[in-house]
């Protein structure tokens, strides 16, 4: 059964990421931070990523509650370290949620089309395309290596990998390094073959245009920033 979700323009998703980074840099108060987290949860739910939204929001709530009830007073080095741990992770979760929303239900070709529409130089588009396609391939290679190791009875579980670091180096790290070089060359060649580095005007099958939900999202983000700056 096909899932229905509200689709956002990649540029409006990029605005959400920039807003999350801005709120992190200016250290927004907890009320503003909570409103922004609820906004991200709502965006992930309507964009088809409700599982990510629920998990990340639950983590944020957990860090917030623990810090509020247990670390209001710093009495020593241990409590100082734990308070820093919970606060730092809580502050990083909104940008992580924004990045999850940006990558959710958005293909790489849509991002490339949006970047071209924003007149971003090709020296930025081509490396961005290669890097974003690189990590999924690397994860798939790692899964294949682990599957082959289990088939041969090597490193059945994570404890075996810790007990035998040399085998881990031989059977995982070395093949991954070889795969990294081959994958990066293949992806770079594929990007150039598709014409990403060409000076001619490229076409795209994906329509990149603002819709009503994008305008509403940008307006809400602008109101949040104005509220934070003025109040």
For residues 44-53, average pLDDT = 92
Mean pLDDT of 80-102: 89
**pTM recorded for the entire structure:** 0.78
Q: Which residues contact 27 (CB under 8 A, 6 or more apart)?
A: 91
Task: Please indicate whether residue 203 or residue 50 has the higher confidence score (pLDDT).
Answer: 50
Instruction: Quote the pLDDT of residue 198.
Output: 63
Average pLDDT over residues 66-77: 77
Q: Which tens digits make up the pLDDT trace of 12-23?
A: 999 999 999 888
Residues in the chain: 231
Query: CA–CA separation, 180 vs 178, rounded Å?
Result: 5
| Mean pLDDT, the chain, whole residue set | 82
Q: Give pLDDT tens digits for 121-159.
A: 877 887 787 777 777 888 888 888 878 877 777 665 667
Domain residue ranges of the chain, discontinuous segments joined by +: 10-107+209-230, 110-193
Pick left, alpha or beta for residue 119 (phi over 0 → left; psi -120 to 50 → alpha; otherwise beta): left
Range scoring the smallest mean pLDDT among 83-97, 184-198, 206-220: 184-198
């Amino acid at each position: 059964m096909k899932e229905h979700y509200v689709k956002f323009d990649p540029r409006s998703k990029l605005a959400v990421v920039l807003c999350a980074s801005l709120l992190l840099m200016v250290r927004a108060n907890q009320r503003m931070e909570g409103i922004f987290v609820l906004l991200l949860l709502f965006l992930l739910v309507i964009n088809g990523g409700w599982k990510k939204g629920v998990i990340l929001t639950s983590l944020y709530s957990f860090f917030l509650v623990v810090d509020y009830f247990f670390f209001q007073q710093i009495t020593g080095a241990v409590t100082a370290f734990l308070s820093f741990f919970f606060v730092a992770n809580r502050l990083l979760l909104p940008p992580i949620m924004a990045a999850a929303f940006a990558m959710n239900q958005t293909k790489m070709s849509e991002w490339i089309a949006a970047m071209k529409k924003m007149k971003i130089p090709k020296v930025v588009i081509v490396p961005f395309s290669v890097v974003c396609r690189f990590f999924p391939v690397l994860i798939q290679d790692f899964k294949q290596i682990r599957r082959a190791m289990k088939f041969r009875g090597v490193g059945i579980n994570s404890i075996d990998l810790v007990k035998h670091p040399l085998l881990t180096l031989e059977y995982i790290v070395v093949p991954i390094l070889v795969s990294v070089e081959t994958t990066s060359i293949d992806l770079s060649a594929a990007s150039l073959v598709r014409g990403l580095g060409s000076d001619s005007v490229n076409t795209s099958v994906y329509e990149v245009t603002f819709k009503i939900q994008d305008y509403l999202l940008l307006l809400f983000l602008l109101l949040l920033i104005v509220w934070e700056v003025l109040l």
